[in-house]
Structure 1
């Protein structure tokens, strides 16, 4: 911004400055730029009369204004602006001429047209004539049959179109559940069925030759089953396999108010006579009519060593009754830590339990109660029998007078 301010008078070529130095900032043919009422005026200078007075080339056409700020624009700068404006205008006109030529080629040319851009680059594209020529060569979509190769059916009739497209008779059937219709994707018969590799809800039993030998059934939510005339349990689900002379069942059931259990049942035939039942109850107890047996054949064992010092080991292990800190019922037996003192190899580590307080106990110790009790008690009894026999022999000798009893002996 130049020094001082200007006073401009409407329809006058005289400009008066206040605090200006026109003689040092301007020469004839320079320009001053001033903004009055939001409008910028670029005014050419005719003569510089003094440091505070100059004359314009033409009268000022704006409103009278005093104290206006101003800028001095040298003639050289204005010439550069004018030259740039001429160059830009020429470039714009060149672009308009290109546009007219380009559109003339597109509308009146054939084949492809070369489109020129204002920066001198060019590219080619189809003309309007090439579009109409291509459309005229397309198949008639109104009369006749559109070939398959051009996206049609190759036939003027519906039946012929289905044949050419390889469509079966289901293409003309309506969606429904009655005979002669096709099923929709949300048909309940499909949605509610069990599908391969997908989850499904089973509402009816699944049978496979169930009424004959080698039959199979998968069933859920069975009704309450009675036994001996009274309600015995509610069966939730079962798998039943039938053979000619025996049947097998795996089920999940509830004894109302008592317990839940998973069970394996063996029948003599089709549920005519129950031969065996094995229950695994939610209390952690296993139940069967017989007993659980393990292999104990000498032929499959080695390093047979009788339990040593059985009477001493008997004192290390006590028999207890207890209440559980978790949800299991009360019980009786050995404590794993005591068994480990006498038979460390008879105690295994594994599993976890959550107490009623919420505390979780990991690495639960589990003793081989049956094996330890059988081996230890039997050997302890044998040891006691030896002691009894020795004492009996001694008593017999005393009563026969063959033994002299000394005081303190």
Structure 2
């Protein structure tokens, strides 16, 4: 699902030092297939030139209501009518006050009053300015009216202080844009996702594991969040977490099961993408096993807990989706697992195929449903595969989702 492809995004750029980051934000949005129209305040032009944005977007950057840089007297109406998303990044304290009070004295604030599409602001300012009651009240007003607030981050600021006020990462801003325009068929659903290969310790420095990177599970977590879900990612992977997703880090199969059991009752959907080790050492050495102490080493293994089987026994209203990474007899093995674990859907992939193995940026999967229906997907980026899996889940008879959008106070 290429959420931003073909969409028109109005990007408002305000007069703060973070304005230079808006150029890279433009590039990322265009790279995702969006048409970006940039509206700059007078202050923004002191930090970065309109030519920069015109070059990156292929569209003239607009700076005024009338005269040069305006595009015409009804530009704000034309822009608003064509917009799929209105984003202000960076948003200064000044523009937040204008948006909250309905003041319209320049092209950006005038256009903001005319749009009838999802709206986002990403504030960036000095830590003391951001903490002021007036700024916080303006943000609360905007949030109550349906604006999405992309909270600033803590860190070193251009003024030399440290605190909350730095523009959110561009990854978070792009993710917020995707969520604003993605179908909200998972809105308010609680989704648990597992990811990565578990590690069963042999001694304090070694473990038994597998080659799973966790990328497929992370893509599922991101896709579910984009579609409105409240997502918890239970992961054995060291990858950085997707934006706005709760992360629970585990290592062993037992730790993963414990984390799932703690949260399972409150979940609507469980996407079990982790590659859980099938065996673990019966005993863990308390000290590092030295190579020279013995000529041979024999490790006594025992089966790990069968997490899917445990969840299947616990299942009441939850939808349970399993994964089968196979090297032979793909459909037969996956179909047997679907039946034995009483799953609602299983995602099967042959990890020996180029473009589908562990650590790959793409995947090639087949979706198997109870009753024998199957759907084969071509090689796709893992985020696209994740959205196709979520699409399939919405077709299940017990899917609890709804597609209502957020209420907006005008």
TM range (shorter): under 0.3
The two structures have a TM-score, normalised by structure 1, of 0.19
The two structures have a TM-score, normalised by structure 2, of 0.19
